[in-house]
Structures are given as C-alpha cells and as structure tokens.
Structure 1
C-alpha cells in the first residue's frame, strides 16, 4: 500500500524545486516511514539539482532530515513509532569499511546515497502518477512531508531537543566537526586553519574550539562570516580578498605553518594554497567537492616534509555514536549551531535556495 505525500521535485537539471504530490512505497523490512519536521538544505542538493551529478531526474532530494517515526518495517529494531530521529547517509553494513566503523566509506556508498536514485535491489521508493522518480537520496529523500528512510540512515535522538535545531547534523555539521575530531585530532598548542566559512567550515571552527588547538584561523572572502567565525571560536581571521593567505598563515603560526587545514571551498586554487601553508608533518583535509574529474597540481618536493593530504566524506563518522553526541553538545549550548541556521517554511524552498546561493543564509533549514 503506497502513501501519498507532498514533495519538492526537481524535474530536470537546472530546473527549480516544484511542490508535487508523490507516492511513497510501503516500508520494506529495513525501512521506516518518517514524518518530517525539518530538513537542512546543503550544497550537495544544489549540485544534483543543477545536473552536475548524475542522479536520475525527475527526483526528490534532501539529505539532512529530522522528524518523527510513524511506522517501521518488519525487521527494524533500532527505532519505534514516536521516536525522534535525525536522518543521515546510508550504508550496506556488511562490507569491510562498515564493519570497521567507517560507514562513510562503504563499498556501495555512491549508488546507495548519491547517484543511484533507488534501493540497492533496484526498486524505487517514490513515484508520481505511476512513474518512478529518483529517490532514496542518502537513504532518505527528505524534501518531502513524509520520507521512506533506510534503517541505517536513522539515528534516534533526544526528544527534548527541537528537531529544526539539529537537522543539519546529518551531513554538513558532522562533516566539518568530523574533519577536526576524527581526522586532524588537534594536539595541545597546535594550529588549525579552516578555508571557507560556510556551514561546513564554521562547524569545523566550532569543533576546533572544543579541542586543545590554540591557534584557529578562519579564511573567507565575506567579512560578516569572518566576524561570525571569531564569535564561534576562531582566534584569527583572514580576508582572502585583502591578504596573501599562505603568507598570513605562516606569520600567524610563527613561520611554522599550520598543523591542520580543513579545505571546504572545492576550489583547487584554494586547496593548493592550503597545502603550501602546511607545517612539516601537517595534514590538509579535503572536504569541498569540485566537479567530477577535477585535478590539482602540487609541488611534489613540498610534500616531502611529511605533509599529508586526506580526502573526507561525511566526517568519517559512525553516525549512531557521533550524532547523539553532537545533539547533546547542541542541547548544552557547547555547539551553538543556531548561529548558522535560518528557517524557511517548506513551501519557500526556492527562496531558501536563492538566499543560500547569494550567501544570505549559511544553513537554511526547511520546516514542515
């Protein structure tokens, strides 16, 4: 038996989001039906909607959902109807990286989350007028009033925390926080640079402020975002329109260079500057994703000082442990996520997209 709901559908690459009645399949054995309360808007949604990634359109996107479980499949054990949940990426649970606690590097991550548009068995989760739509986006497709969600995308959370305040944890925030906590792991007295002060970058700044790093440098081109970065824990900021980024980083780090760099912009020129700014044995974490096939040229001899460049997906987090910890930090005011969030009614999704694209909103959250 299918469930009718209202969703924001992208008809083709570059088309706007349009509200449309769609039908959800009945929950499979390892799925749940979730009534959405809020969902974050992420640059990945916009990249897919623009046609830059090969996701099947027309389709329903959305991958930072938060809501209340309404029904569960026959083999779901982790949640029950009435539970509050944050939705994150899905994974197979059976490959070596999933067993090793690194589900963001699941062997089937790309088709299950980003480009497949359907379940692992090839069946569709969402249709319209009998025609299948691209769905199952990050195991959720949460730009809809109700979503059919993979069990491995579901994270049960504290019901006392407003869901609109924690929806972005599913992707952008855990990515920025995980870059710092799970990869860089700053030691006492270390220096850390965040390139780009958007939602992911500012999440990295907040995470760095909760570590023993003593120098936290935020780099951006927008003065208002740099001012916010300082309020969230940056000890220094660099306006890339006015200063040489590598030279200023070297100056601020006592000419050692940065122990850690988080690159969130997806700009290969910025990435290259970040590598130049690393200290000996420093690590740069690549978070920002340029178009598929993009390459970057690096000074090989410059890497011989033990510099490391590490790619990152979704913070390399194990969501069942990581997201509840972040929820607690939000609840206690130690991760002031509300400073990044602007809320919009679901029907105003296109206004949220415009504000995000124009830089007026750091992290739009749609509310239902």
Structure 2
C-alpha cells in the first residue's frame, strides 16, 4: 500500500517526507494507521551510525495508532483496536520464555536489523528497498507494520496521541524504578538526567513512595520541572558536586538507589559513587559502543551493585496498561513531558529534542 514516510538517506542527514510502498501484513503481522509517534534519542543512533544501519531508512519506535488489518495468525488484536507499539523480541529464546523479553538473545536482530526476523524488507520505493522494520515498527510514517508480540492493546478512552512514548522512553524510566530497582516506601533515589527517561523514573519514584527524590541535570528549566513533578531536591552539576551534595542530603550515607539515564560516563561514575553501602545503581543511558569506566573496587566490595537495565525490565503487554491506569488516576502525569509537532515538522522536532528545548517531542499525523 502507498504511505508517506520520513526517510533518512545519509549519515547525519535530514528527514524527507516521501511516498513509498509498505507491504501488506503477513500472517503474524498487524497493519496500524499511525495517530502519533514519539521521538527518542535511539532514533538518532542509526542516523549518526552510532549503531550501524543502512540507508535509505525509516526510523520511529514509539508509535500509537489504530489497527487496520491483522494477519491470519493474530488473535489478541482486531481492526479498530487502539494500540501502542513497543520493542520486538523473538519469543523463543530462554530469556523471552522466562519473562524477560527486553533481554532477548536476538534483541539487535529483532530491533536494529531493518528487516523482518526472516530477513525480508517491509518497504520499497519503485525498485529501491527502503529499510524499515526499525524496532519492528518504523513508525515515522502514516502506516506501520508490527507483530502481535510487539503491539499492545490499550483502552480506547485515553488520549491516543499521548500514548506512544509509553512504548519506549517512558516505559524505560518508569520500569527501571518499578520493575528493576524495587524501592520501598521511604527509600531514597538519585536520578542523573532529567530528560523524558529520567523524569519518567522520577514519576515512578513518587508512585513507589521514595521519600528522598534527587534529580541531577545541568538544565535549569528541567530541574524546575523536576521539582514540579515531585523531586525533593535538585542539583545542577555545573554549580555543585553531585556526590558531595547527595552525601550531605542523606546524612553522609548516600542514597539507597541511583539511576544514570544520559549515557554520560562521568555521570555514571557519580551515580555509582552516590549510593550507600548495599546500595544499587541502575544504568539506562547508552554511551558509545566499547566505552569503559573506572570504578572504586573497594566501594563495590562493600555490597554496592551496578546493573544495566534495558527497556525498564518491562513485559509491555503487562506494564503499559499499569502505567495507563496510573495516568488515569492522576498519579503518573507523563503528559507534562510532551510537546506536539505535526508530522511535517519532524526535523524541527528532532532538533528541539537534541538541543534540549523539548523533553519529549511527539509527532501527530493528520
């Protein structure tokens, strides 16, 4: 079928809206008419070749829309369903079968190969292959294909245009707190980075009852928003030493938990140094491949932990509906992070996101 997609044709380039052909859904696939799609830092990785990827290509992996068609083997979805598109996983490996699809042994093939799992493309323009299936979506387009496994049905009475970021960025931050770190009421947490992932983690820290909620970020506007969303303390690392300040806030002990969400190696070291004996640091931010960090080994010997967290340890079919219910109750106001752009403003939206002018840009399709 003919669709309009934002196509990237060169390293570091700009998106161009082009008419292309999208395959009809296969037996296990779902065709979705896109309503909206969030912009995430991960969308820049293949563009800038931080993660190798082909050109021309269509990105986008925080899609929300309405099901148009389903394949013959699809049972959980039907035309007319409102859905959020999330990450893909094989469903067959040991980690998938033990309820950890975000650590699928075929995660990169399922999400970064720009093809179906069987290697076939989903998009073309005349005789040219346009590389789609990014995160099994490529939802910077008016229509997208997903699989039953990676598409989540949501209630039809919530604002569909808000829901896309739940599929990745919001899920990642909130899940890191709720699913990975498991703080108890009264615990303390320091969150490094006040972007959409970090602020989603902050909202989750409020929900779980963390008593001390510290946000660290060099952007004063974001720190102001963090206070509005429930931070008890904020620290600008340009004007104060985060580790020293966190020690002062916590009576010299450090926090029980910390999260690093930006991919900055200096911030990661500070996040580890911020936790107390028996504390735990979660690493969400993605630095360049091959990056290494030096740590205080004696600090780790005193029971401190550091762990990587992918997509908030979420099972999307189970976790996204929980976040939606918290949103409906007014306890998870992630909508305060969002700014909308029309689809043809995609380059402006991407630039605003990269320069920190917008926390979570969301494209709307007419």
Same fold (TM > 0.5): yes
Computed over aligned residues only, the root mean square deviation of the Cα atoms, in angstroms, reads 0.9
How far apart are residue 277 of structure 1 and its match?
1.2
Q: Could you tell me which residue of structure 1 aligns to residue 201 of structure 2?
A: 204
**Alpha-carbon contact 1:39-1:365 (below 8 Å) kept:** yes
**Alpha-carbon contact 1:56-1:133 (below 8 Å) kept:** no
Q: Could you tell me which residue of structure 2 aligns to residue 307 of structure 1?
A: 304
Q: Could you tell me which residue of structure 1 aligns to residue 158 of structure 2?
A: 161
Distance in structure 1 (CA, Å) of the matches to 2:252 and 2:102:
35
The residue matched to 1:209 in structure 2 has which SS? helix
**Alpha-carbon contact 1:12-1:51 (below 8 Å) kept:** no
1:52 paired to 2:44: no
How far apart are residue 301 of structure 1 and its match?
1.3
Gaps of 5+ in 1: none
Distance in structure 2 (CA, Å) of the matches to 1:333 and 1:54:
40
1:132 paired to 2:129: yes
Give the alignment of 1:333-348 within 5 angstroms.
333-348=330-345
Distance in structure 2 (CA, Å) of the matches to 1:314 and 1:267:
18
The residue matched to 2:165 in structure 1 has which SS? helix
Give the alignment of 1:181-200 within 5 angstroms.
181-200=178-197
The residue matched to 1:14 in structure 2 has which SS? coil
The residue matched to 2:208 in structure 1 has which SS? coil
The residue matched to 2:99 in structure 1 has which SS? coil
Q: Could you tell me which residue of structure 2 aligns to residue 366 of structure 1?
A: 363
Distance in structure 2 (CA, Å) of the matches to 1:98 and 1:338:
31
How far apart are residue 12 of structure 1 and its match?
1.6
Runs of 4+ residues over 4 Å off in structure 1 = none
**Alpha-carbon contact 2:190-2:274 (below 8 Å) kept:** no
Q: TM-score, normalised by structure 2?
A: 0.98
Q: Could you tell me which residue of structure 1 aligns to residue 353 of structure 2?
A: 356
Q: Could you tell me which residue of structure 2 aligns to residue 17 of structure 1?
A: 15
Match of 2:114 among 114, 117, 136: 117
How far apart are residue 268 of structure 1 and its match?
0.6
1:102 paired to 2:103: no
How far apart are residue 90 of structure 1 and its match?
0.8
Distance in structure 2 (CA, Å) of the matches to 1:261 and 1:124:
41
1:280 paired to 2:277: yes
